[in-house]
Each structure stands twice: as C-alpha cells, then as structure tokens.
Amino acid sequence: MSNAYDVNTNDLIDAVAEKLEKMPDMKPPAWASIVKTGIHKERPPANPNWWFVRAAAILRQIYILGPIGTSKLRTKFGGAQNRGYAPERFKKASGNIIRKILQQLEKSGLSVQTTKKGHKGRFVTAKGKSLLDKTASEIAKSQKKE
C-alpha cells in the first residue's frame, strides 16, 4: 500500500485537489479569482481551480512537515520577486490565502491545530491522512496498470 511519499507529488496534488473540490467546506472566497498569491507574482493564477490545488499542496505539506504554521508555509510557497535591473529577492507568499485554506481544512476535519512536544502548529488528522494515503494508493495502482 502506497502513501504520500511514494507517488509523484504533482499527480497526488492534482488528485487530492479534485477530491477537495467536492467537499462542501472547501469553497474559494469571492476575491479568489482576482487575487495574486504573493508579492512576488505579477498576475493572479491562470488555473481557475488554483484554490483547491493550493489547498491540496498545503495539506500535503502539513502531512510531511508535521507541526507547521502560517509563517513557514508562507516561506515554502514564496518565490523570487522580479525587481527590474536590481537582483531578485525572495518574498513570502500571501498569508491571508494560506490562513483561509488552513481554516477550511480545519473546518472540514482534515487538519487540527495543537501543540506537540513544545511545537505549536497544524497536524493532519486521521481523516486527512486517510485522504492522502488512499489517493496515493489509487495513483500507484493506476500507474501499475499502464
């Protein structure tokens, strides 16, 4: 049986995003279609389902990195800002987007905010772990058939 570590990351995120899209608690806000994902971006995302893709990527990061908060996720999803002739500089991603997605993941029961061994942050619940592992198993089975 495969888990989230065994399959291609992009395949897993796309498959989990499709499942998150069907959940009633996971709805993008009204401003999601016009907002940039960080100061380092010039335009909003081209993918109309980018909210669910980002939510799936955040859920996977919580699964892998254990207790993690908004600040570390902002750094994880940040990037280089184009400053013209000046050298590029790293900028963090939007905290509001990450915070709203974390709240939706908590509301849907896929993650929980607790403290473990002095580390405060979000953890994946059994339901979230099951979602990721079952999706990874489905991907692994479909790749074996091909």
Domain borders along the chain are 9-145
Mean pLDDT of 22-30: 90
Q: Does domain 9-145 have CATH number 1.10.10.10?
A: yes
Q: Is the dihedral of CA 72, 78, 79, 81 positive or negative?
A: negative
Q: Are 122 and 68 in contact (CB under 8 A)?
A: yes
Mean pLDDT of 68-76: 93
Per-residue pLDDT, 79: 93
**Alpha-carbon torsion angle 14, 16, 135, 111, nearest 10:** 150
Residue 111: both structure tokens together: 């993650």
Per-residue pLDDT, 1: 65
Mean pLDDT of 79-88: 94
Cβ-count burial 80-115 (b if 16+ within 10 Å, e if not): eeeeeeeeeeebbbbeebbebbbebbbebebbeeee
Per-residue pLDDT, 114: 86
Residue 75: both structure tokens together: 């750094």
Mean residue pLDDT of the chain comes to 90
Q: Does residue 44 carry a pLDDT above 90?
A: no
